[in-house]
């Protein structure tokens, strides 16, 4: 066949294992044809008829099989068989068709051409078999003249050659495209460049090459528009990431620059400068040739480059996607996902004195809210620049919001060094802002086996540092994780037991000191496990708040309290009210007020018999949210009490804004109330209640002397072990019957 008939479909992508000359059809020097027939004479006649046949410049090599079974074994042994001349009927009527199925289904060889022959026309295969199994032709042996046999074989081999060429092209292109799937790491673009060079060296028989492009957006930290080396092969000097100005040869620099500027290929007897462009991404590939390229080589290279250009654009797109996925948009630092990858490398590093840390800026949300998000962003950029003072040996990341991560040697990543970054104020716009931070640290010796695990460990340490009143840094220790696992286990158990109705409301009676009778009770939550063990409220209430389960539990408590109020009314104790504690997460629910009102309606009770207790610290958390909700509830008749007054932040400024019915004196002010000089705070709260026309109840009464002092001071109501301990609902009813 003439050379002009070789078009782009004949192009073969050279695999890395190919070291010899390029073949135009991707096969050996002969075509292997398998003759399968149980009649030896057919073998002889066929080989004789085709003895001098040359197809596409190659002779034919014959392989012989005399049964379907032998044919299957030979096809497995000879992977380069291109054509099978196959008898349909041999040891069985369908032996030939079984060979076809073996080729197509078992071996998945779709490129082998198959011509069926039979001496028994009555055994012709169905049309669907010929179609489904891609059979080239079906002939009876009597109609196969030499001319027809030659035509059939030539057409079949030509078909194989085209299919094989197309498949090789497809596999080659798939190889380039699949390579780009790995180019999410920064160095992948260099691997891609060198992979392209290795193929071009084989296509062109060059002995060395370079792949050059602008450094901006490719080389980390580079905004340089000059050309850099992204890939190299055959050079003894390391050139990767170097500018082309580092080349010894000015001629070489000029050739590469001219190709990039003129945007076209340049060919010479000893070199080729290839221009690559796709989607606005440009590069130059320079080849030093052993011999001048032929026209066919040039055509093949340019077809190859068309595919390379698409892949090169994909590399850049993947780079952009990677930046979007692994880089923080504001600071351009690695983000949380990338920090996890950095932690994986931190674990695998042979260095032993490494430390990983998280840095949380204190009160950053206040800066954002008070001075605006734009200034907050400028502050984050200023912190980023300050953290670079830790040195090139440290890797910095922004985890999100106001949290940064850093990995580095212990002499750089330690509490003293990290805190020193915040000794000076930060410049954000025109503002000078003093900033403090908390630090969680984890040394390599304490680190887990995976990056995600280490990040969790540092988070544990950071959370402890944020909660501490004494220090602003904590190093992770194994027992911290044990405590966290215990807490998570308790939360899971609490959630399960709550769903299984194992939580109970107990009631501690509240008495009027004047009337000397029960006027109410505080509803107190109790958790009895499946084993009958009680878990202290001091343990599980904080866990419920931490997990958010307190909202569901709080709603259940209010409904149970209303249900108990109804029982009290039915038992003729309609003068007895129930007081329940409310947490800040409940107030933050949009429908909290409605849910309380609906509970009183659902159980048909007087709203005034339900009292909500809030603590002083809750009031300080979200004062306006709490006040607005209480005003609405008070308007519906719900009673309101302020618990633990005087134990937290001062709420004096809010007292007149709150629709209160009662002040509650904390037990800490009652314990030593009968001792000389120890009653000042309790007495002050009682007097304050009188001045504000509020009822005052003292809790924690355990001694008669305490009661006597409270009576003398005019305290209205009391609650404590001196009168009764908390008790289940049925015992509370019995207590009422016996004491009223």
pLDDT, tens only, 39-85: 899 999 888 888 888 888 889 999 999 999 999 999 999 988 999 99
Of residues 625 and 316, more confidence is placed in 625
pLDDT-wise least confident of 159-173, 193-207, 436-450, 683-697:
159-173
Residue pair 442/475 in contact by the 8 Å Cβ criterion:
yes
Q: Which residues contact 385 (CB under 8 A, 6 or more apart)?
A: none
Residues in the chain, total: 740
CATH superfamily to which 494-739 belongs: EAL domain (3.20.20.450)
- Give residue-wise pLDDT tens across range 90-140: 888 888 889 989 988 888 888 899 998 877 665 555 566 667 667 877 777
Cα 631 from Cα 640, distance rounded (Å): 10
Sequence ranges of the chain with CATH classification 3.20.20.450: 494-739
Q: Is 449 exposed, middle or buried (0-12, 13-18, 19+ CB in 10 A)?
A: exposed
Q: What is the DSSP letter of 94?
A: T
Pick the CATH number of 3-175 from 3.30.930.10, 3.40.50.150, 3.20.20.70, 3.40.50.2300: 3.40.50.2300
Cα–Cα distances in Å, from 108 out to 13, 102, 104, 112, 549? 21, 8, 5, 10, 58
Mean of the pLDDT values across residues 402-414?
Answer: 95
pLDDT, position 595: 96
Rounded CA-CA distance 690/715 in Å is: 9
Cα-based distances in Å from 335 to 9, 45, 486 = 46, 74, 30
What is d(CA 548, CA 391) in angstroms, rounded to the nearest whole number? 41
The domain defined by 181-326 folds into Beta-Lactamase (3.30.450)
Residue 294: count of CB within 10 angstroms of its CB: 11
Kindly state the greatest CA–CA separation across the chain: 131
CA geometry: angle 159, 165, 169, nearest 5 deg: 145
* 501 Cβ neighbours under 8 A, 6+ residues apart: none
Residues 212, 230: contact at Cβ < 8 Å? Answer: yes
- What is the Cα Rg of the chain in Å? 43
pLDDT 10s digits, 183-228 = 334 346 777 788 788 778 877 778 778 888 876 555 554 445 678 8
pLDDT for residue 22 is more than 90: no
For residue 169, what pLDDT band results from cuts at 50, 70 and 90?
low
pLDDT confidence of residue 168? 58
**pTM of the entire predicted model:** 0.52
Q: How wide is the angle at C-alpha 635 spanned by C-alphas 631 and 641, nearest 5°?
A: 60
Q: Where in the chain is the domain with CATH 3.40.50.2300?
A: 3-175
267, 289, 317, 360, 668 from 270: Cα distances, Å: 8, 5, 34, 60, 94
pLDDT tens-digit profile of 433-489? 999 999 999 999 888 788 899 999 999 999 989 888 788 999 998 888 788 888 889
Pairing of strands 281-289, 206-214: antiparallel
Q: 7 and 37 in contact (C-beta within 8 Å)?
A: no
CA distance 296 to 10: 11
Res 5 pLDDT > 50: no
Please tell me the predicted confidence (pLDDT) of residue 184.
37
The rounded percent of the chain whose pLDDT value lies above 90 is 48
578 Cβ contact partners less than 8 Å away, ≥ 6 residues apart? 507, 520, 521, 522, 523, 561, 562, 564, 565, 568, 609, 610, 611
Q: What average pLDDT does range 527-553 have in this prediction?
A: 91
Class of domain 336-476: alpha beta
Q: Please give the structure tokens belonging to residue 12.
A: 């073969």
Provide the strand spans (E) within 452-516.
473-475, 503-512
**Among 151, 119, 155, 121, residue whose Cα is nearest residue 49:** 151
Which residues belong to CATH 3.30.70.270 in the chain?
336-476
Handedness of CA 646, 647, 653, 658 (dihedral sign): negative
Q: Compute the distance between CA of residue 64 and CA of residue 40 in angstroms, rounded to an integer.
A: 9
Among 399, 363, 362, smallest CA distance to 384 is for 399
DSSP string, 34-76: EEE-S-HHHHHHHHHHTTT--BTTBEEEEEEESSHHHHHHHHH
């Amino acid at each position: 066949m003439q050379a002009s008939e070789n078009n782009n479909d004949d192009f073969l992508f050279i695999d890395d294992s190919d070291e010899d000359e390029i073949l135009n059809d991707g096969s050996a020097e002969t075509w292997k044809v398998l003759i399968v027939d149980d009649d030896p004479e057919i073998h002889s006649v066929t080989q004789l008829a085709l003895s001098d046949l040359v197809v596409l410049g190659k002779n034919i090599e014959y392989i012989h099989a005399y049964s379907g079974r032998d044919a299957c074994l030979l096809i497995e042994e000879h992977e380069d068989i291109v054509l099978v001349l196959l008898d349909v009927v041999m040891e069985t009527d369908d032996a030939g068709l079984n060979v076809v199925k073996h080729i197509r289904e078992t071996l998945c060889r779709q490129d082998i051409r198959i011509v069926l022959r039979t001496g028994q026309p009555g055994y012709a295969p169905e049309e669907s078999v010929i179609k489904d199994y891609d059979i080239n032709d079906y002939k009876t042996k009597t109609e196969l003249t030499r001319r027809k046999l030659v035509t059939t074989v030539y057409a079949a081999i030509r078909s194989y050659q085209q299919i094989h060429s197309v498949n090789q092209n497809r596999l080659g292109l798939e190889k380039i495209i699949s390579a780009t799937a790995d180019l999410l790491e920064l160095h992948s673009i260099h691997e891609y460049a060198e992979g392209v060079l290795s193929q071009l060296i084989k296509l062109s028989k060059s002995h060395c090459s370079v792949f050059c492009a602008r450094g901006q957006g490719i080389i980390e930290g580079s905004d340089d528009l000059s050309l850099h080396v992204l890939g190299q092969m055959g050079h003894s000097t390391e050139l990767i990431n170097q500018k082309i100005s580092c080349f010894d040869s000015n001629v070489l620099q000029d050739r590469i620059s001219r190709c990039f500027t003129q945007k076209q290929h340049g060919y010479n007897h000893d070199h080729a400068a290839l221009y690559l462009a796709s989607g606005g991404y440009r590069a130059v590939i320079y080849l030093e040739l052993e011999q001048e390229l032929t026209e066919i080589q040039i055509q093949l290279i340019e077809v190859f480059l068309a595919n390379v250009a698409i892949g090169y654009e994909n590399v850049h797109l993947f780079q952009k996607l990677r930046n979007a996925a692994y880089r923080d948009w504001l600071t351009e630092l690695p983000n949380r996902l990338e920090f996890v990858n950095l932690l994986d490398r931190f674990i695998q590093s042979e260095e032993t004195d490494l430390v990983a840390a998280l840095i949380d800026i204190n009160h950053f949300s206040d800066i954002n809210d008070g001075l605006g998000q734009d200034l907050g962003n400028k502050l984050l950029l200023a912190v980023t620049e300050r953290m670079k003072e830790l040195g090139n040996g440290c890797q910095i990341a922004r985890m999100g919001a106001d949290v940064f991560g850093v990995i580095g040697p212990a002499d750089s990543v330690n509490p003293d060094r990290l805190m020193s970054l915040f000794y000076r104020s930060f410049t954000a716009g025109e503002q000078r802002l003093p900033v403090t931070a908390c630090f969680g640290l984890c040394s390599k010796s304490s680190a887990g086996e995976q990056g995600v695990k280490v990040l969790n460990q540092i988070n544990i340490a950071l959370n402890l540092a944020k909660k501490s009143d004494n220090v602003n840094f904590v190093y992770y220790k194994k027992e911290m994780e044990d405590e966290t696992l215990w807490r998570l286990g308790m939360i899971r158990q609490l959630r399960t037991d709550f769903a299984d109705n194992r939580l109970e409301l107990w009631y501690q009676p509240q008495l009027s000191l004047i009337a000397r009778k029960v006027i109410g009770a505080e509803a107190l939550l109790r958790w009895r496990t499946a084993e009958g063990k009680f878990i202290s409220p001091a343990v599980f209430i904080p866990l419920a708040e931490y997990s958010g389960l307190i909202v569901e539990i709080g709603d259940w408590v209010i409904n149970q309290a209303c249900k108990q109020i109804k029982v009290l009314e039915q038992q003729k104790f309609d003068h007895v009210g129930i007081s329940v504690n409310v947490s800040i997460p409940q107030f933050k629910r949009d429908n909290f007020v409605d849910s309380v009102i609906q509970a009183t309606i659902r159980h048909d009770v007087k709203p005034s018999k339900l009292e909500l207790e809030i603590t002083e610290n809750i009031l300080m958390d979200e004062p306006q949210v709490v006040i607005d909700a209480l005003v609405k509830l008070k308007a519906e008749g719900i009673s309101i009490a302020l618990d633990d007054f005087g134990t937290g932040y001062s709420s004096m400024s809010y007292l007149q804004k709150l629709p209160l019915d009662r002040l509650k004196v904390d037990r800490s002010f009652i314990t030593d109330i009968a001792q000389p000089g120890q009653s000042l705070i309790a007495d002050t709260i009682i007097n304050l209640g009188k001045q504000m026309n509020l009822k005052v109840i003292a809790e924690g009464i355990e001694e008669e002397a305490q009661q006597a002092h409270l009576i003398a001071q005019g305290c209205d109501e009391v609650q404590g072990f001196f009168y009764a301990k908390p008790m289940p609902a049925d015992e509370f009813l019995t207590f009422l019957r016996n004491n009223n």
